[in-house]
Amino acid sequence: MLTCLLSFLSPSLSPSVLITLFTVVVVVLFLTTSRLVPVTEPLARGSIPCLPRLPFLGSLPWLGGGLPPHLLFTQMSHRYGPLFGLYLGPHYTVVINSHQHAREVLMQKGKDFAGRPSMVTTNLLTRGGKDIAFSDYTPLWKHHRRLVHNSFTLFGEGTTRLQDIVLSEVDSLCVELLSSEKQGFDPSSAVTRAVTNIICTLVFSATYRHGDAELQEVIQYNNGIVETIARGGLVDIYPWLKVFPNKSLSKLKKCITIRDQLLTRKLQEHKLSRSDGEPRDLLDALLKGQTGGQGQKSSEPKDDELTDDHVLMTAAETFGAGVETTSTTLLWILAYLLHHPEVQERVQKELDEHVGSERTVTISDRGQLPYLNSVINEGMRIRPVSPVLIPHTAMTNSRTFS
């Protein structure tokens, strides 16, 4: 592991010398921090089964095997139970592996566990927690979340705006998929482009054609961010590793820079062109909420005031949360339908009976399509896009699980 970690350092030094230097640094840091920082043991730690641990490494040596985290944790639950602890380096972590316990933590005592750990990658991604998903539970976060929720009502019940945007893009997607005629092809790029275009329309009212340079830029930076974040890294466990050359972290920074330049440009355009009427998109709605509908922000920023960073990070998070999740879900369902033609035929039969071929499917048809709904739900059950939840931290001492 150390050889791989240091392989991109100076080529003039041999791996053995690099490992020796790295080990010396680690020992010095470990001894220094262990003397300066008091060790605080988690409350009631003894009542929760815990993986073995080593100094500095924690339980990392027991987390190998090549399995994805959710499968590894499921496997460990057979030995340690549905609730167990482990150490990610020096960080004590509790793994919740049952629906009942997760429901208690997230819903019944959600405020107690609404904090977020400070990590190098997510701090870069969100400008220090200026988004929704990776921000701590505070009065500002509540105000921010309420504003975002109200903004999305522009496309919710009682309006066909979202449906119209989706149906327009679906038509273009079908034309592209049918253009291959009877030749084999990979639909992933077409599906990702379609979903990205929908999100672009929702966020800043931009509609792109196939091959548009700006659309390709959005897809590339979003894919780069998703790939680096999903891969994870030791830098989130040992933040001091960020001082060493890191290809993954460099790629993430580059993608974030491209993202922020594009979104900042769109934000400035919206500030110049927005009016007092109905918001055109998410950026308009966020700007209106930011200024309280007055058109201008207060000249003196306040601690409980949403900044341009909050607006930008909300827009950025919409891409991260909307593109990858939706396109991955669609592609898995498509793959299962291809491998189960009998299910595909039954879905088509239900559509023919309740919708027909003279018009497109709309959201109002959903109640008459129980089998199609079941297929979608089953696809998300078998292949969840995020089987491991965003890490949470306890904001207060809390007693749970009886």
Q: What is the DSSP string of 123-143?
A: HHHHTTT-SSTTS---HHHHH
Q: Tell whether 158 and 106 lie within a shared domain.
A: no
Split into its structural domains, the chain has a count of 2
Q: Tell whether 182 and 257 lie within a shared domain.
A: yes
The mean of the pLDDT values for the chain is 84
Residue range of the domain that includes 68: 2-117
- Please indicate, yes or no, if residue 163 is contained in any of the structural domains: yes
- Give yes or no for residue 106 having a pLDDT over 80: yes
Alpha carbons 44 and 316: distance in angstroms, whole number: 39
- Please indicate, yes or no, if residue 221 is contained in any of the structural domains: yes
Alpha carbons 151 and 285: distance in angstroms, whole number: 5
pLDDT at 402: 62
Enter the tokens of residue 191.
């599906």
Give which of 379, 366, 388 is closest to 340, Cα–Cα. Answer: 379
**Percent of the chain topping pLDDT 70:** 84
Q: Helix (H, G, I), strand (E, B), or coil: what is residue 16? A: helix
- Give yes or no for residue 18 having a pLDDT over 60: no
- Please indicate, yes or no, if residue 139 is contained in any of the structural domains: no
Q: Tell whether 56 and 166 lie within a shared domain.
A: no
Half-sphere exposure of 52 (CA within 13 A, CB side): 3
- Please indicate, yes or no, if residue 309 is contained in any of the structural domains: yes
- Give yes or no for residue 40 having a pLDDT over 60: no
CA dihedral 211, 213, 218, 223 (to 10 degrees): 60
Is residue 246 within 8 A of residue 236, CB to CB? The reply is: no
Q: Which of 117, 136, 155 is the last residue of a domain?
A: 117
- Give yes or no for residue 5 having a pLDDT over 50: no
- Give yes or no for residue 197 having a pLDDT over 50: yes
Choose between 21 and 104: higher pLDDT: 104
Q: Tell whether 198 and 346 lie within a shared domain.
A: yes
Per-residue pLDDT averaged across 243-258, rounded? 94
pLDDT single digits (tens) 254-304: 999 999 999 999 999 999 998 888 888 999 999 988 876 555 555 555 666
Alpha carbons 230 and 125: distance in angstroms, whole number: 13
Q: Tell whether 269 and 156 lie within a shared domain.
A: yes
Q: Tell whether 156 and 237 lie within a shared domain.
A: yes
Q: Tell whether 299 and 206 lie within a shared domain.
A: yes
Q: Tell whether 194 and 288 lie within a shared domain.
A: yes
Alpha carbons 276 and 54: distance in angstroms, whole number: 61
Element (H, E) at 94: strand 91-96
- Please indicate, yes or no, if residue 131 is contained in any of the structural domains: no
Is residue 333 within 8 A of residue 376, CB to CB? The reply is: yes
Q: Tell whether 163 and 109 lie within a shared domain.
A: no
Enter the tokens of residue 298.
């207060």
pLDDT at 3: 30
- Please indicate, yes or no, if residue 140 is contained in any of the structural domains: no
Give which of 401, 319, 337, 339 is closest to 374, Cα–Cα. Answer: 337
Give the model's confidence band at 134: pLDDT under 50 very low, under 70 low, under 90 confident, else very high: very high
Is residue 121 within 8 A of residue 252, CB to CB? The reply is: yes
Alpha carbons 385 and 343: distance in angstroms, whole number: 22
Q: Tell whether 293 and 196 lie within a shared domain.
A: yes
Per-residue pLDDT averaged across 218-234, rounded? 86
- Please indicate, yes or no, if residue 246 is contained in any of the structural domains: yes
Q: Tell whether 176 and 289 lie within a shared domain.
A: yes
pLDDT at 46: 56
Burial class (CB in 10 A: 0-12, 13-18, 19+), 144: buried
Q: Tell whether 104 and 186 lie within a shared domain.
A: no
pLDDT at 297: 56
* CATH code assigned at 325: 1.10.630.10
